[in-house]
Amino acid sequence: MLRATSEEITKLYCHLCKEGIVLVILMPTNDDCRLINNTLLKESSSKYVTLTAIDCLSSVVRNKRIEEEAAKSVSSFADDCNRTAGALTTLVLSIGARVMLQRNIVVDKGLVNGSMGYVKEFKTIPSGEIVSVLVQFDGQDQLTSIGHATVRFEALKEVYYTRKQFPLQLAFAITIYKSQGMCYRRCRKSLLWTRDDLCCIIQSYH
């Protein structure tokens, strides 16, 4: 089975969206998702905003060398959100970008971890700093204002950092693993048939 190229996937996605079809692309790896998401972000708008996380050492460290090692450790896994409680170092968004919520906001209204929607507006203060992202979540009548969230993660053994970032991620494409437990009316799944990606055939059962 041949694998569709990122260009073919994004072209089909854009075509279906123009027909009013809301769908999600399921991919086997985070790298695949990153490629598709970045490509579709460029398709959705020519104007982007980069939201940079604010990191702060939260543990009391009296040894300067350990403090420096902790900072270096955080820098080394900056792009691995699995190491930073899901909070991205940099989040690049645009109006119209498809996003996923990364934490529970209002459970009884369905605004929970995994909820998906479209960015509609960025709220700023006079200095120009973005303080909230307005998102139209699927199934919701009103826009939801998403502000910063603070997470805590381990940089070194028993040395912790806090990170302040918007609890959102691009979600034109998500991994098959991330989609487990979610319900979708439509999706496009990438299936690979290579020795290195046999797990994708197993995952296709999902």
Cβ–Cβ under 8 Å, residues 51 and 99: no
Compute the average pLDDT of residues 151-168. Answer: 93
Specify the pLDDT at position 18: 83
Structural domain for 89, as ranges? 6-203
Q: What is the arithmetic mean of pLDDT over 140-148?
A: 94
Cα 146 to Cα 22: distance, rounded to the nearest angstrom: 22
By C-alpha distance, which of 99, 174, 93 is closest to 138? 99
- Residue 195, pLDDT > 50, answer no
* DSSP code, position 103: S
Sign of CA dihedral 58, 91, 50, 77: positive
Amino acid at 139: G
pTM of the model: 0.81
| For residue 95, pLDDT beyond 90 | yes
Write the pLDDT tens digit of every residue in 168-185.
Answer: 999 999 988 888 767 666
What's the total number of domains in the chain? Answer: 1
pLDDT at 198 over 50: no
Please check the confidence at residue 203 and state whether its pLDDT lies above 80.
no
Contact 149, 53 (CB under 8 A): no
The kind and range of the H/E element at 16 are: helix 6-18
Angle at 121 between CA 137 and CA 84, to 5 degrees: 70
Residues β-bridged to residue 49: 93
Q: Is residue 1 part of a domain?
A: no
- Structure confidence by residue, pLDDT tens digits, 26-64: 888 888 899 999 999 988 777 889 999 999 999 988 889
In a domain, 86, yes or no: yes
